[in-house]
Structure formats: C-alpha cells, structure tokens
Chain A
Amino acid sequence: AQSVTQLGSHVSVSEGALVLLRCNYSSSVPPYLFWYVQYPNQGLQLLLKYTSAATLVKGINGFEAEFKKSETSFHLTKPSAHMSDAAEYFCAVAQGTASKLTFGTGTRLQVTL
C-alpha cells in the first residue's frame, strides 16, 4: 500500500521568497517519488523525480526536492519564487517503475508581489 499526504492545500509566498511545499509518503517498499505541476486547464508537467539515486533531486524551473527516508518526506523547495510559479503542485508515489501513481491532494501555490 502507498499513500501521499500534502500538508497545506494552499500556500502563499511573496515573489522572491523561499517556496516550501510539503509531502510525506507511506510505502511498504522503497518508493519512487514525483512532483508534478499543473497550470490552469492543463495537464501535469513533471518537475522532478526520485528513483533511488541521489537523495537531493534537482528539477526544472529551479525546483529541487530532498528524499529523507527517516522522515518519510519529499518536500519541494525553490529558493526564490517567481510569479510564473503560481500553479497547483502534486506529489505522487509509486512502488516501482511498473507501479501506478498515487497522488496527493495537491497544493495551490500563490505568489504575490
């Protein structure tokens, strides 16, 4: 069994501020973890993924996430928010390359001036 919890359905930051979106997972086997971003009325775009290699994963658009097994977390960060980062962010877990994804409930990021 696998599950994902995203704390905070809505996060608001000022432009230029640190972005931190939280994701905790539960998995009975070593997980594969993903962050996707969704802009309004669009599909999901892969930001980054963890597949048992380096624990600090760098993705597109300046985002990165760190896999912490002891905390069962995979939080997404970006040092400096940009207005274009405003979107819905989904964390997802899979139990292998052939496993289906289980999504969190999503976090809406708002970036203010």
Chain B
Amino acid sequence: GAVVSQHPSWVICKSGTSVKIECRSLDFQATTMFWYRQFPKQSLMLMATSNEGSKATYEQGVEKDKFLINHASLTLSTLTVTSAHPEDSSFYICSARDPSGRAEGTQYFGPGTRLLVL
C-alpha cells in the first residue's frame, strides 16, 4: 500500500517550453500533496504544498507563476514548469500525505522526475 507514482520519470525539453509533471496516489486519497526539488547531492527543498480543491501554498522564494500547481482530485496533483530555462533543470519529487489513521499523516514519495532543459 501507500504507493505514489510520478509521470514522466524523465523529460528533456527546449528552453521556453512548458513541462507538466503528474503525481498520483494510487491506493489512498491524498488531500495534501507536496512538491520538492532536489539538486545533485543535496537534500530536498520544499517548493509548495498542494491542497485538493484550493490554491497551493508556495515556499518563500518559489515563483508561483513559474511553477503552476493544480490539485484537482484526491489522487492527482500536477506541477507545470512554465517557460522552462536551463536553471530549472533538476530532480522534482512529489509526496502525498496519507491522512488515514494507520498512516498518521505520513508522507509517501513518488519516484521523482528528472527534468533537463536545453
């Protein structure tokens, strides 16, 4: 149980294009999902908290118009990197919080999406 998927697992795009990354909770309903960014050999940096049916909450320094987050259902959140530039190249990881009693709010992570902007 508690499986989170991400799609795509990797993507290469040209500078100026937009890229959408999907995050799905496969066996539980997640009212809250999180988007992280990880640079090589570094820890995870929280970008935003995504709540189903409402606007995402962005961390300080993260451009909300650059990183569009949509959480339209209890099992799906999407991150769109708009007008991507080479500095947006990174490893993006999502997580979903399982609110059920057994999970006690534990976050389960997706496998990550590696984005390379040329």
A residues bordering B, Cβ < 8 Å?
32, 34, 36, 41-46, 49, 51, 90, 94, 96-98, 100-101, 103-106
- Whether the pair B44, A103 counts as a contact (CB closer than 8 A) is yes
Query: CB-CB contacts of B45-81 with A at 8 A, as 1s and 0s?
Result: 0100100000000000000000000000000000000
Chain B: interface size category: 20 to 34
Contact A97/B6 with A103-B43, A106-B43 known, Cβ cut-off 8 Å: no
Out of B46, B49, B93, B106, name the residue touching A43 (CB < 8 Å): B93
Give Cα A32 to B105, complex, Å: 10
Chain A residues with Cβ under 8 A from B6's Cβ? Answer: 43
Contact A46/B112 with A100-B49, A104-B43 known, Cβ cut-off 8 Å: no
Residue of B nearest to A49 (CB): B106
Q: Is the interface of A mostly helix, strand, loop or mixed?
A: loop
Out of A44, A49, A105, name the residue touching B109 (CB < 8 Å): A44
24 contacts between A and B (CB under 8 A): A32-B104, A41-B112, A42-B111, A42-B112, A43-B93, A43-B109, A43-B110, A43-B112, A44-B95, A46-B106, A46-B108, A49-B104, A51-B104, A94-B105, A97-B105, A100-B34, A100-B49, A101-B46, A101-B95, A103-B43, A103-B44, A104-B43, A106-B42, A106-B43
Given contacts A41-B91, A41-B114, A96-B105, 7 further A-B contacts (CB under 8 A): A34-B106, A41-B112, A42-B111, A42-B112, A101-B34, A101-B107, A105-B43
> Which among B49, B97, B110 has the greatest number of chain A C-beta atoms within 10 A?
B97
Q: Is the interface of B mostly helix, strand, loop or mixed?
A: strand
Chain A residues with Cβ under 8 A from B107's Cβ? Answer: 34, 101
Chain A residues with Cβ under 8 A from B43's Cβ? Answer: 90, 103-106
Chain A residues with Cβ under 8 A from B112's Cβ? Answer: 41-43
- Whether the pair B114, A97 counts as a contact (CB closer than 8 A) is no
Chain B residues with Cβ under 8 A from A90's Cβ? Answer: 43-44
Chain B residues with Cβ under 8 A from A98's Cβ? Answer: 32, 97, 105
Give Cα A14 to B103, complex, Å: 34
Chain A residues with Cβ under 8 A from B42's Cβ? Answer: 105-106
